[in-house]
Structure 1
Amino acid sequence: MRYVVRTPDGELVYPSLLDVEQAYLQGLVDAEDEVREEDSSRWRKAGSLPTLARARRASTGAAQRGQILSVVGVVLLGAVALSLLFRDNWHLRLFGIVLALAASFMLTRVTLKAFKRPSSGG
């Protein structure tokens, strides 16, 4: 079944909902654009369609930079922790263990954030 998408720039016709989903993932169709089946007269927001609401958009540059900065921070924290573990002072070794635990916690958070789906709001 064909779908018509109404954007601020005009209307586009897609051969299937899968094609609309691909356009949505590529940013050609926005959540605020209106979609209807070709034989229907009812327009719906693209973001309200279950198929499009479940679709995962690619991360923005800011989100990717945030992940990269987090990973770099964890690597630096791990390097400092490792260097402290090889010191002769027991207090520094203990501090190195605490930093290593903090680094593992941060890395767990980064990993969970990388696999978490974005909210349906965008």
Structure 2
Amino acid sequence: MNLPDDPWNRFVLRAVEEAPQIEAEKPLYALFWYQSEVNNGGHLQYFLNVTEPGEWHIAVDAARSIGQDEVAANLAQAVALWESVEHRAPNTTEEFVDEALEDEFGHFDRKFYELEGPFRQAFENAIE
């Protein structure tokens, strides 16, 4: 598949092909993975898939740095909920579905989707 050679596609390809090693790039990549995971399976999936737990705090700060305070606040509140209770990673797809159906993070998912248009635009502007 041939994608247009634009800043967003170059950013995404770099994120997928090589996890950025430059410390200055880490915040935007943490934000990218947040957006990708939430779009793929909501905040629950994001928290289960983050390999470095402190990364979600980096994503909160990155959202603020691009002027997306509502996205940052939504994620910060979801992080607070996640950290307030011990969670165990599901061992099977069925366990994940059961946990997702409890909708513990549904409110945060819906808020993210409400904010996604302006967030995506601000994000694209930040990487150009």
**TM-score bracket for this pair, using the shorter chain length:** under 0.3
TM-score (norm 1): 0.24
The structure with more radius of gyration = 1
> Between Structure 1 and Structure 2, which shows a larger proportion of strand residues?
1
